[in-house]
Structure 1
Amino acid sequence: MDETLTLPGFVDAHSHTFQRALRGRAGGDDFWAWRELMLEEAERQTPELVRRGYSETYGELRASGYTAVGEFHYLGIEEARAAVEAAGEAGIEIVLLLAAYARGGLPRMRQESVAEYLRQLESLRGDGIRVGVAPHSVRACPRDWLEELGRYAEAERLPLHVHASEQSREVEECLAEHGCRPIELLARTGCLGPHTTVVHATHADGAELDLLAEADATICACPTTEADLGDGFLPAARIDHRRIALCIGSDSNVRIDPLEELRELEGIARRQTGRRGVFRSERLLCFGADEGGRSLGLDAWPEIRVDLGHVCLRGVEDGDLFDALVAGCGADVVVSAS
């Protein structure tokens, strides 16, 4: 009798893999203090460090059940190619989400113009690398950049990923500069559509969620990172009410466990609504796999096998397997990927 269950592989739709080096360096203060530490780590990265470190972390992703990753990358073109090499070594599918950065951050992260950014992106595409357009945020990209990048992504039928409404300060700064909230700005600049994934949206209000629903856009939730950085709670219940598509990301890779990310989504929704089973287990597994693939523009990625003899699943009835998997299991139930 087969003691394994075959499932679609999980898709990590949002990873900053170099941030794995910050694991365990908790510290105090807030997101913005952590960001300074993160920028120091980013500055020391080289193609060789990226290839070695990413190969290890992608191996960890693969072992946990992720079989595809969206690498949100802002370390430079040669480092981008090193990340793709590392993914090949680890046997994980990769979509390189090249970040557009006009202001802020480090000099190595920035491009002088949208034209320079598109030259970089096209050079990666020319090498056969799957890519997505990734304006880093409304903090990093002015309005005219967002407009140009939105047009390009739509014309080229490429995924567009962007951080938005992650922090209350970000919302306040956007209101001061543009007179609207971050996701409203994305809508006004043509960056919202079925190809768009908004990362985090922890501070999105009802009007912004309505815009996401109308655009058939996706939200990428990264609950373990959002908890680690004090980003706030995803408005999960309001997202569910609007039937907005959700996917997951390991983000800073402070934890690598897709089942934990999915369990956190349900836990947040339960705390917000006072009821259980807000997201059915089958739907959560869809967030972890199919919606992530859609977010990255993937048609296929490897499957995984789950150990039915694991102590967390032993003796569970067939009809309860998905509930048991999401509610009580960790990544160690994954035995292999095809």
Structure 2
Amino acid sequence: MTRAQNASNPAKLTPHLGLKHRNTFGLDAVAELAYEIHSPEQIPAVMSEIAEQKLAWRVLGGGSNVILPSALPGATLLIDILGQEILSSDEEAAYLSVGAGVPWHELVAWTLENNMPGLENLALIPGTVGAAPIQNIGAYGVEIGEYIDRIEAFDVKDHAFVTLPKEACRFAYRDSYFKQNPGRFIVTKVVFKLPKAWQARIDYADLAKQFPANANASPGPEDIFLAVCKIRTHKLPDPKVIGNAGSFFQNPVIPNEQYETLLKSYADLVSYPDLPGKRKLAAGWLIDQCGFKGQRMGAVGVYENQALVLVNHGGGTAEDILGLAKCIRDKVHDKFGVTLQIEPNFF
């Protein structure tokens, strides 16, 4: 019997586990060895076993930001650490501790039900809490990094649990210290700091349209939550109906000089202010201008309501998706001189 199986609270090990239900693209993938992690305490024994056997390994949460190949050799850790609690609350903020396996949207809804607003702009984003800070998920003018106080994780390099304060996480646009150091940390818990001084954030164009400036009352957190759900439901397909990973490409950030040059040729270029001297372009608009919206390439294609979303119509493979992505990237680069970066991780 292995060390992981000998642990007092052992991680369940399943050989040759199908992962079609664990990735939102709905790709047929099989994990050679799948470990179900329900508590942080199970991780050290599993990682010791992996090291002893010199196995390739990776972590999988909700599978909403990954492209899985047909076979995953070695070990796949399925992070199912649940639980959420209010650690403390003072005049300035509430501190909320959440397990890495908690579904993200369920957390957002829970915070509003418990009168702790702040995350409502991030409603209906698929995936788990543990995966969210790695990509520093964001939507409608808000990024998760703004509301994180600290993160608890297992440091694979030092074989020890660590706590990283917000400053150490190095959050940036779709980036973090965890993403910069792949394979080093396994996130187990996220502690959020939700300020009591709440203010509606509806500057993002699509969201602002939901709340006319001449309205009698300002929107509350629940109003924004519902508006975001409405927008995302229209733009993004339900993974249970058609496989997808949400936004497939990052919005590219370019120098102002390049932006001004593009604007001379494309007066309706969609963009947003970014850091000083930079401009963020709408990747969906760039792809749409290249004629990809609603197009199919075999079993995969581009969603008819949002060019930023690639979909699996059924039977598609990782190779199919990456092939379509390459076509899109090449065409956008040829037309606009802009290189798109893929958001989902490819194992």
Q: TM-score range by the shorter chain?
A: under 0.3
TM (norm. structure 2) is 0.25
Higher percent of residues as strand: 2
Q: Which has the higher contact order (CA 8 A, sep 6+)?
A: 1
Give the structure with higher Rg (CA): 2
